[in-house]
Amino acid sequence: MRIVMIGSGYVGLVSGACFADFGHHVTCVDKSEAKINALEAGEVPIYEPGLEAIIQQNRSAGRLDFSKNLAPSVGEADVVFIAVGTPSRRGDGHADLSYVYAAAREIAAAVRGFTVVVTKSTVPVGTGDEIERIFRDEFPEKDISVVSNPEFLREGAAITDFKRPDRIVIGTEDTRAVEVMREVYRPLYLNEAPLYFCERRTSELIKYAANAFLAMKITFINEIADLSEKIGADVQKVAKGIGMDKRIGDKFLHAGPGYGGSCFPKDTLALVKTAQDFDSPVRLIETTVAINDNRKRAMGRKVIAACDGDVRGKKIAVLGLTFKPNTDDMRDAPSLTIIQALLDGGATVHAYDPEGMDAAKDMLGPVIYGNDPYEIAAGADAIVIVTEWDEFRALDLKRLKTIMKKPVIVDLRNIYPVNEVTKYGFGYFAVGRKPEK
Ligand code: NAD
């Protein structure tokens, strides 16, 4: 099959590289000259474990190429995926679909024979209908079938998620498109990944409902964490105890500083807006969004409380900036709000992240960056663990104790057992567990 991926970001590049790895011929297109130039020069513009090797192998095999211009490859393609961004629209929180519609028009202009155009971007219910209307009204002579195929991969584990998905959701009732999509995913089907066909609108809603449910699960355990702290329970044990029930499951029950990233915040908000438009409000999700928004700033206050209620003139060392480990993605990362709260409180913030510092520099105020945890911890009044990168899981606590001004650790990811930290004389403040002062 000849596949074109429009948008070569976290989703487009991973999906494109993996489709090439399945044996398809793939062209990844992007408007960003910098991205395409980097890719053509053999560099990978994002950090995603395992991606570089797959790109290299498939380029060498002649199955993967890159372009700034979609027209030549779209003219030859069987399937064109739209994987451009759908950020929150400024002002009202609806998904901004301008990139999707612009891409759709460009694709339609370049299409030659029968072509399947697939929205892989997360798009609100009805977007496929609107794309179809645009094609019908503006390009009536073109033979295009519009399909929804939302992506569920997680950054940091994107290759495995793409190659071993729990399911592949495909929204179309067009039998020609069904055949094409079966062929696209045939290698995964052999891997026993179920293809789940449904109507296009249903498929669009599945993506939002899935993200909203996961965001709600995280928010649920975060509130149980706050309650645990107040009443002297341990949220990790509560999570384990409820997670052993198969009806609940043990995933997404890690209490922390609130969900962030490029998907959950914008997708929960967009679902809330869509539901309001259809006069069918999703109040659980509205509340989830509100709780999570408050939580990030509250985590800043938690750090301040751990520093005896005042951080003015104090040095705070922040470990981890990205919204989760194994990515360089800083979009809507909780660290942004937490650090702002600390700066507002008068703290000097020093930070270290293995992959996120370049992006962070454009998004954060006056933060001083270091090269490793020990450099930023020297002379600090507290360490705050915001992202659970592996390299923060086994810090040399003895060394930290000697170089810090005050031995205080605020662990917003609960990665340390209490007794391991307290035996070195640290004050330890975790999430949903009794503080040890
Ligand atoms: P991204 O910002 O990393 O990438 C989008 C890319 O599209 C950018 O490189 C941009 O330059 C390019 N682009 C925009 N308009 C274009 C056009 N007309 N032609 C060519 N290129 C164009 O975004 P992302 O994180 O990959 O997300 C893409 C979509 O996938 C979003 O809808 C998102 O919600 C969804 N999604 C993301 C994830 C994730 O983990 N990042 C997971 C599942 C779904």
With a 6 A CB cut-off, is 30 part of the ligand 1 pocket? yes
Q: How many CB atoms lie within 10 A of CB 158?
A: 25
Q: Which atom of ligand 1 is nearest to the CA of 6?
A: 20
Q: What is the mean pLDDT of residues 297-310?
A: 97
Output the pTM of the full model: 0.96
Residue 191 clears pLDDT 90, i.e. is over it: no
Nearest Cα to Cα of residue 349 among 83, 234, 44, 360: 360
User: What residue owns the CA closest to ligand 1's atom 38?
Assistant: 11
Residue 369 clears pLDDT 80, i.e. is over it: yes
**Residue-level pLDDT at 87:** 95
The pLDDT-based confidence of 94 (bands split at 50, 70, 90) is: very high
With a 6 A CB cut-off, is 97 part of the ligand 1 pocket? no
- Tell me 8's DSSP state: -
**Bridge partners (DSSP) listed for residue 66:** 28
Residue 190 clears pLDDT 80, i.e. is over it: no
CA 42 to ligand 1 center in whole angstroms: 20
CA 262 to ligand 1 center in whole angstroms: 10
**Residue-level pLDDT at 77:** 98
By the 8 A CB rule, do 104 and 75 touch? no
Q: Which residues contact 81 (CB under 8 A, 6 or more apart)?
A: 3, 4, 5, 6, 12, 15, 16, 118, 119, 120, 149
By the 8 A CB rule, do 108 and 75 touch? no
By the 8 A CB rule, do 416 and 387 touch? no
User: What residue owns the CA closest to ligand 1's atom 44?
Assistant: 151
The pLDDT-based confidence of 138 (bands split at 50, 70, 90) is: very high
Per-residue pLDDT of 114-137, as tens digits, reads: 999 999 999 999 999 999 999 999
Residue 231, SS3 per DSSP: helix
With a 6 A CB cut-off, is 103 part of the ligand 1 pocket? yes
Q: Parse the chain into domains and list their residue ranges.
A: 2-198, 200-437
Helix runs in 70-170, H state only: 71-76, 98-110, 127-138, 158-163
Residue 82 clears pLDDT 80, i.e. is over it: yes
User: What residue owns the CA closest to ligand 1's atom 2?
Assistant: 85
**Residue-level pLDDT at 80:** 98
Per-residue pLDDT of 197-236, as tens digits, reads: 999 999 999 999 999 999 999 999 999 999 999 999 999 9
The domain defined by 200-437 folds into Rossmann fold (3.40.50)
2-198 maps to which CATH number? 3.40.50.720
Identical fold between 2-198 and 200-437: yes
With a 6 A CB cut-off, is 67 part of the ligand 1 pocket? no
With a 6 A CB cut-off, is 11 part of the ligand 1 pocket? yes
d(CA 365, CA 35): 26
**Residue-level pLDDT at 398:** 97
By percentage, how much of the chain surpasses pLDDT 90? 97
**Residue-level pLDDT at 90:** 87
Taking the alpha carbons at both ends of the chain, their separation in whole angstroms is: 62
d(CA 226, CA 230): 6
Active site residue 28: no
Q: Of the residues 18, 28, 198, 263, which is catalytic?
A: 263
The pLDDT-based confidence of 436 (bands split at 50, 70, 90) is: confident
CA 380 to ligand 1 center in whole angstroms: 38
Mutate to test the pocket of ligand 1, among 32, 82, 107, 262 (most ligand atoms within 8 A of CB): 262
User: What residue owns the CA closest to ligand 1's atom 6?
Assistant: 7
Please state, rounded to an integer, the average pLDDT across all residues of the chain.
97
With a 6 A CB cut-off, is 110 part of the ligand 1 pocket? no
**Residue-level pLDDT at 302:** 97
**Residue-level pLDDT at 386:** 98
With a 6 A CB cut-off, is 334 part of the ligand 1 pocket? no
